[in-house]
Amino acid sequence: MNILKFGGTSVGSVESIRALIGILKERKGAEKPVVVLSAMGGVTNSLLQMAENARNAQDYADDLKKIEQKHFDVIRALLPAIAQNPVLTRLKIYFNELEDILQSVYNLRELSLQTKDLILSYGERCSNVMVSHIARQHFANAEYVDGSELIKTDSNFGQAKVNTYLTETLIRDFYESNADKLLFVTGFISSNDEGRITTLGRGGSDYTAAIWGAALNADEIEIWTDVDGMLTADPRIVKKAFSLPELSYTEAMELSYFGAKVIYPPTMIPAFLKKIPIVIKNTFNVDFPGTYIKHGVQTSKLPIKGISSIDEISILNLSGSGMVGKAGFAGRLFSLLSREQVNVVLITQSSSEHSITFAVKPADALKALSLINREFELELQARKLEYPEVENGLSVLAIVGENMKRTPGISGRLFSALGRNGVNIRAIAQGSSEYNISVIIGRSDLSKAVNAVHDAFYADLKKTLNVFCLGTGNIGKTLFRQLQDQMPFLAQNNDLQVKVMGVSNTRKMYLNPEGIDLSNWEKSLQQKGQKADLTEFIGQMKDMNLANCVFVDNTASHNPIQHYLDVLQSSISVVTCNKIGNSAEYDQYVAFKQAARKHGVDFYYETNVGAGLPIIRTLKDLMMSGDRIARIEAILSGTISYIFNNFKGERLFHEVVKEAQDLGYTEPDPRDDLNGKDFMRKMLILARDAGYALEEKDVTIESMLPAACLAAKSVDEFYAELQNNAAYFENLKNEAAQSQKVLRYIGKLEDGKVAITLQMVDDAHPFFMLSGSDNIISFTTDRYKDRPLVVKGPGAGAEVTAAGVFADIINVGKR
């Protein structure tokens, strides 16, 4: 025999009640179950609100009307007209009673816990009367049972303690004398010795089901709810949370105690004692197997089972010399709190015994504070204890699982995930069972923290990178296209999801917490975007406070650079193809790197040199593995390469430059390439990465242009000057051709000095053969002495640059 408990959402609407009836019909051949029902979804909260409103002399009548209507609507939809009257009448009586009670609270301005329980009990009573009548259309023996008469408790209203022996006897007797009935039992409510209504605590219908299960030695206790069982995390916080097939009672208890509201923690106790499995199933996805909570679960490969969280928590910290070495201090503190019914969620004590921190629900914080002040008055006055203070606005995050016990490195993984995402940990507690590690963090960080930890522990699941992009020019556009094309591949092969959460150009910006659909990002930016404002963009990005966040700068402008430090200090990684930042003052370059290191995030700029070619990465690997750079020689201007490779035969210099610009091989302003400035920046960045603290002025640039071209004031004037100086360029071309050489603009780093010179090289030179817009770089190092390490390939163009940015993005967080 099974107990089937249906929660608030499962009795909350016409559709869900139809589903419930369907589930019961499926059981027709099997042994008759007992059904336990909650109040309709939202009704308990609403009753509570009405009770508080009445006490505060505020209106409650509207809400009362609304819940009445909610029940009546279902009855009218699911019962034929002739069958409606008896139920409507019975419910009407309940609502009249309820109104009288609320009116009394209103008149007296007083709401005791006892009255509150009475008011709440109407939620379960109404839903059960309603559903049992509807069920009678399908099962002639359906019978309403007021469960409060059978579950006997003490008088601790709000969270009463069950008298197990008496309760089990009453339930068994009742069940035996109603053997032919299909029972619909009210969850959550119970009664004390005097027959007054008590309740089992919020979420207590689950517990009712377990109590009935234990009393009747049920085969299984089925908890029917609105999700696919117990998930790895709260699905409202973590979109990727997934259902756990099996849990031990302890694991389920820990997860639910720390916030997984899908099952009420005390539910596990009667089931555990009687070895009755609990299964959590989805009313709206009946065929899904759900989660089994039972003895002897199979060992799982998952390092942890789940992550739960308590949204609002307060902490109190007690410290002072009076505690050190004083046996029994903690005992005195916690027995005081327990005696006064203050539930302590978590405790940590420093090993010096100099301080104890404990967490309580915010509603209990002030009570705890005044209890301590009273109990330890003497110690406080003698300054042996510091006056404690309450700290609010905090949350608890807990990771839970029996495997934690056997697996080292779990806490390391937890803390590094939190650290990388800039989540400050206020206190840590590890249960001695090692089934649980909990941390207290700021409430505003909770969602980010749970997602980051989820990603860190379920690495074989998709990891999400949340990306904010500046710039929608050639590179930005191409990147979005590549991201969109690669999405399925990434998901399948890299278990990675890249979500663009924000985009901005100089005119407009658009941020969307749900992510931006890349198939029409341009339209969204146009239609939904607001006026661009970089400070605001970054502010909103920070406010979203997402895990694994990446700020991508696809511009060539100065403005974003000023924000890099702030972004890195907010624990957000930076990926940039913008060379301006790293090639400005050396101190700034160092500051970026230090900020990234300090905050445990990445600062990647592979595309600063040679577009997508692995140049920066190669240099970094050489340096990190202890090699020493003796010399770097490079052609790093794809533009100039292209120009020299095509400046042949009859072609004129300015024509070739124009062609390069039209093909997108130049900076937006081609002068930046031809005056050597862009090349200088790249050489400077390489030199810095090779360990030299150089500034722009330390780089000697031999111009490849006559002075008049360099002095041009606009792009048009520049082209005109190139044309005027055609003879100069023709000369170069002919001289090279006659000596069977080629023109090459080559940068060199040697002995800490950087120079860029125009050279004519013959076929003995490694840079002789170079086609199109290719870049080439050769590293001569201690290890690569006789034959340098050479990287060569296309070093310009939106396609390869965007691909390099893409690679940097997916490398974020790979360490």
Among 23-31, 103-111, 203-211, 228-236, the segment contacting ligand ASP (CB under 6 A)? 203-211
CB of 289 to ligand ADP, least distance (A): 15
Helix or strand (DSSP H, E) at 4: strand 2-6
From the list 413, 392, 229, the residue with the least C-alpha distance to 304 is 413
Among 202-210, 427-435, 509-517, 795-803, the segment contacting ligand ASP (CB under 6 A)? 202-210
229 touches ligand ASP (CB under 6 A):
no
CB of 465 to ligand ASP, least distance (A): 38
List Cβ neighbours of 584 (8 Å cut-off, separation of 6 or more).
561, 696
Q: Cα dist. 59→102, 103, 297, 666, 668 in Å? A: 10, 10, 51, 70, 66
Residue 765, exposed/middle/buried by CB under 10 A (0-12, 13-18, 19+)?
A: middle
Per-residue contact string for residues 5-34; x = within reach of ligand ASP by CB under 6 A: --xx--------------------------
- Assign residue 181 a region: left if phi > 0, alpha if psi is -120 to 50, beta otherwise? beta
The SS3 of residue 139 is: coil
Helix or strand (DSSP H, E) at 18: helix 14-26
Of the residues 9, 38, 466, 472, which one makes contact with ligand ASP according to CB under 6 A: 38
Rounded CA-CA distance 308/255 in Å is 6
CB of 8 to ligand ASP, least distance (A): 5
List Cβ neighbours of 352 (8 Å cut-off, separation of 6 or more).
324
Catalytic residue among 181, 682, 733, 792: 682
Rounded CA-CA distance 8/203 in Å is 10
204 touches ligand ASP (CB under 6 A):
yes
Q: Which is nearer to Mg ion, 223 or 316 (CB)?
A: 223
Per-residue contact string for residues 284-323; x = within reach of ligand ADP by CB under 6 A: ----------------------x-x---------------
404 touches ligand ASP (CB under 6 A):
no
283 touches ligand ASP (CB under 6 A):
no
Rounded CA-CA distance 209/7 in Å is 11
Provide the CA 167 distance to its chain's centre, in angstroms: 44
Rounded CA-CA distance 629/634 in Å is 14
Among 36-44, 382-390, 575-583, 756-764, the segment contacting ligand ASP (CB under 6 A)? 36-44
Q: Which is nearer to Mg ion, 7 or 265 (CB)?
A: 7
CB of 220 to ligand ADP, least distance (A): 17
Q: Cα dist. 583→156, 242, 560, 580, 599 in Å? A: 70, 46, 14, 5, 22
From the list 521, 504, 473, 803, the residue with the least C-alpha distance to 664 is 473
Provide the CA 159 distance to its chain's centre, in angstroms: 33
Of the residues 235, 614, 706, 788, which one makes contact with ligand ADP according to CB under 6 A: 235
CB of 205 to ligand ASP, least distance (A): 3
Which of ligand ADP, Mg ion, ligand ASP, none binds 204 (CB below 5-8 Å, type-dependent)? ligand ASP
* Residue in the block written with tokens 């100069």: 728
Q: Which is nearer to ligand ASP, 206 or 445 (CB)?
A: 206
List Cβ neighbours of 436 (8 Å cut-off, separation of 6 or more).
254, 258, 398, 399, 400, 404, 430
Helix or strand (DSSP H, E) at 393: strand 390-400
Residues 249-288 that bind ligand ADP (CB under 6 A): 260-262
Residue 179 phi/psi, 5-degree rounding, is -55, -25
Q: Which is nearer to ligand ADP, 225 or 464 (CB)?
A: 225
225 touches ligand ADP (CB under 6 A):
yes
Contact 201/266 with Cβ under 8 angstroms? yes
CB of 116 to ligand ASP, least distance (A): 12
Of the residues 227, 293, 313, 365, which one makes contact with ligand ADP according to CB under 6 A: 227
Which of ligand ADP, ligand ASP, Mg ion, none binds 187 (CB below 5-8 Å, type-dependent)? ligand ASP
368 touches ligand ADP (CB under 6 A):
no
List Cβ neighbours of 410 (8 Å cut-off, separation of 6 or more).
303, 304, 399, 404, 437
Q: What ranges in 224-344 are assigned the alpha helix state H? A: 249-257, 268-274, 329-339
123 touches ligand ASP (CB under 6 A):
yes
Per-residue contact string for residues 195-224; x = within reach of ligand ADP by CB under 6 A: --------x---------------------
CB of 159 to ligand ASP, least distance (A): 11
399 touches ligand ADP (CB under 6 A):
no
575 touches ligand ASP (CB under 6 A):
no
Of the residues 90, 172, 196, 202, which one makes contact with ligand ASP according to CB under 6 A: 202
Q: Which is nearer to ligand ASP, 13 or 559 (CB)?
A: 13
Which amino acid belongs to residue 314?
Answer: S
Q: Which is nearer to ligand ADP, 398 or 629 (CB)?
A: 398
Per-residue contact string for residues 523-562; x = within reach of ligand ASP by CB under 6 A: ----------------------------------------
Radius of gyration of the chain (CA): 36
List Cβ neighbours of 236 (8 Å cut-off, separation of 6 or more).
none
Rounded CA-CA distance 290/278 in Å is 10
236 touches ligand ADP (CB under 6 A):
yes
Residue 444, exposed/middle/buried by CB under 10 A (0-12, 13-18, 19+)?
A: middle
In total, the chain counts a number of residues equal to 815
Rounded CA-CA distance 293/428 in Å is 27
Which of ligand ASP, ligand ADP, Mg ion, none binds 226 (CB below 5-8 Å, type-dependent)? ligand ADP
Among 225-233, 355-363, 455-463, 564-572, the segment contacting ligand ADP (CB under 6 A)? 225-233
For helices 798-811 and 474-489, the axis angle rounded to 10 degrees is 50
Among 29-37, 83-91, 172-180, 203-211, the segment contacting Mg ion (CB under 5 A)? 203-211
Residue 98: both structure tokens together: 């309820």
682 included as an active-site residue = yes
Of the residues 41, 123, 203, 813, which one makes contact with Mg ion according to CB under 5 A: 203
Q: Which is nearer to Mg ion, 256 or 773 (CB)?
A: 256
Rounded CA-CA distance 268/253 in Å is 6
CB of 140 to ligand ADP, least distance (A): 28
187 touches Mg ion (CB under 5 A):
no
Per-residue contact string for residues 174-193; x = within reach of ligand ASP by CB under 6 A: -------------xx-----
CB of 560 to ligand ADP, least distance (A): 39
Angle at CA of residue 251, ends 248 and 254, nearest 5°? 150
Among 198-206, 336-344, 673-681, 785-793, the segment contacting ligand ASP (CB under 6 A)? 198-206
CB of 221 to ligand ADP, least distance (A): 13
Rounded CA-CA distance 780/787 in Å is 8
Q: Which is nearer to Mg ion, 249 or 480 (CB)?
A: 249
Q: Cα dist. 721→289, 653, 706, 715, 728 in Å? A: 77, 11, 9, 10, 11
Q: Which residue is nearest to Mg ion (CB)?
A: 203
Compute the 3-state secondary structure of the chain and give helix, strand, coil in percent, each to the nearest 5. 45, 20, 35
Among 46-54, 175-183, 200-208, 718-726, the segment contacting Mg ion (CB under 5 A)? 200-208
Catalytic residues: 682
Summarize as ranges the residues that interact with ligand ADP (CB under 6 A).
7-10, 38, 203, 225-227, 230-231, 233-236, 260-262, 306, 308
Summarize as ranges the residues that interact with ligand ASP (CB under 6 A).
7-8, 38-39, 44, 123, 187-188, 202-206
Summarize as ranges the residues that interact with Mg ion (CB under 5 A).
7, 203
